[in-house]
Amino acid sequence: MLKRLLIGLVTILCLSIDGLAADPMENAIGQRLTEMFTAGFGRGTDAAAESRRLYSQARTESRNDPRVEYAYGLVLLKQLKTKDAMSHFQVAAKAPGSESWPARQALTWCQFVSREDSEGFKSLSDFAKSLAASKVESAERNTYVEWIGQVVAALQKSADTVKKRELVAREEEALKALLSADDLPHFEKGAADVHTLYVMLDNDAQETREATEAKQKVERVEKQAQVAEQLVDSAEKRENLKKTAEEWKKQLDDQVAEYNKQLTRLERDYDVLQQRVTAMTALMIQLNAEMAATENQLNNQKKNRNSTTQSQVNATEQKRNALGAQKTKCQFESDQTMVALAGVSQRAQSVLNQKAASIQQYELATGKLAQKDAALDKFQSRLKKDGEKLKSPPKGTPTPVASKINQLRSFRTYVEFDLVQQRDRLLATFDVAIPDTTKPDGQ
């Protein structure tokens, strides 16, 4: 809708300037501006410097034609240098007659976009006075009056405070007072166009809000069901952990009881063997004493051959030999008992190691179970908190809705400033145009 108005301006302004195309100097300046726009609207670090150089040449060659200032202001606006662009629009706005109107329009638009409302209203008032003083009754004038109506309505729609809305209302009355009775219908038409667009956007925002809230409600219900399911699942897991811990305890108790039985038997065996070793040791001491006494008796008998018979000597030797054989047997049995005692001790140590390993395995397993239980407890707490949050709709404005609302409250939404259209409109006054590089050669 707004673009249609701007396109109408292009056609009207082209028709309102007579004889420009016939002037070779005009065409040469237009070609220079074409080069400036091509450089300035392009990308790269050299774009600003090159467009600045071409602007200086065009200004010198045109002898300060205000249209050159306006053209360079468009370039600076394309380069996002709004403050610098406004200074050139201000120079171009001082041109006489309708030649200043595009620059006034651009300056006013930039001031409101930059939130310089005081300066913007002053420029808008000067623009209205210029239009009111003009004796030309044309479609061009009507289009500009509609644009003023659009600007005022856009400021009302984008005002974010009561104070600003009151200011816009006062300025609106002052502007209407500057316009003629014939201008007012066009002013109201521009305002009505903005209002129509606002209603469309507001309906769209409302539909987006309703759709988003409906979607969020469904998602919230689904999430609640999921949380409830997870709570049941986590409760079952905790119950399984409890059962597993009980199973581990029973297994350990059974194993420890079995190991204790084995240790009791081994301890009994060890005591029996230990007693046997003690008895063998006592017997060995006795045998050693008897053998020593027998050996002394035999030595005495051999020394006293006169008083000792050979049969007595033989009997003593037989006794000594019998004691030696008994000692050897006792030593063998003692050694065997010590070996058995060592075996029992090793088996007991093995059972103790197995018992300790079982206890360690139980502690590791139950420790992991305790960690899992703590993790489940934490998870359940979080689920319960999530469940409480899900009972209420989410706070704040959903992102899609916020985007629509921001669009509704933006001045740019209702008053566009198409740089490409403004560029082409201006170049048309010099009877030149930007070459169309999208078409193949020969077309």
In this predicted model, what pLDDT tens digit does every residue of 28-67 receive, in sequence order? 999 999 999 999 998 877 889 999 999 999 999 988 889 9
User: pLDDT tens digit string along 260-302?
Assistant: 988 888 889 898 888 988 998 898 899 899 889 988 888 888 8
Residue written as tokens 């703590």? 374
Q: Which pLDDT does position 13 carry in this prediction?
A: 42
Mean pLDDT (the chain, rounded): 84
Lookup: tokens for 278: 């003690």
- Residue 12: pLDDT band (50, 70, 90) is very low
- Residue 404: pLDDT band (50, 70, 90) is confident
| pLDDT > 70 in the chain, percent | 91
Q: Which pLDDT does position 80 carry in this prediction?
A: 92
**Under a CB-based contact definition with an 8 Å cutoff, are residues 136 and 392 in contact?**
no
Tallying the residues shown for the chain, one arrives at 443
With 0-12 / 13-18 / 19 or more C-beta atoms within 10 angstroms meaning exposed / middle / buried, residue 436 is: exposed
pTM of whole model > 0.75?
no
Other residues' Cβ atoms within 10 Å of the Cβ of residue 318: 11
Q: Angle formed by the axes of helices 47-61 and 24-40, to 10°?
A: 170
Residue written as tokens 């300035």? 40
Residue written as tokens 């166009």? 193
Which one-letter amino acid corresponds to residue 67? R
The alpha carbon torsion through 242, 244, 246, 249 (nearest 10 deg) reads: -140
Question: Residue 384 above 70 pLDDT?
Answer: yes
Q: What CA–CA distances, in Å, run from 225 to 213, 219, 237?
A: 18, 10, 18
Positive/negative CA dihedral, 259, 262, 266, 267? positive
Lookup: tokens for 164: 């600003």
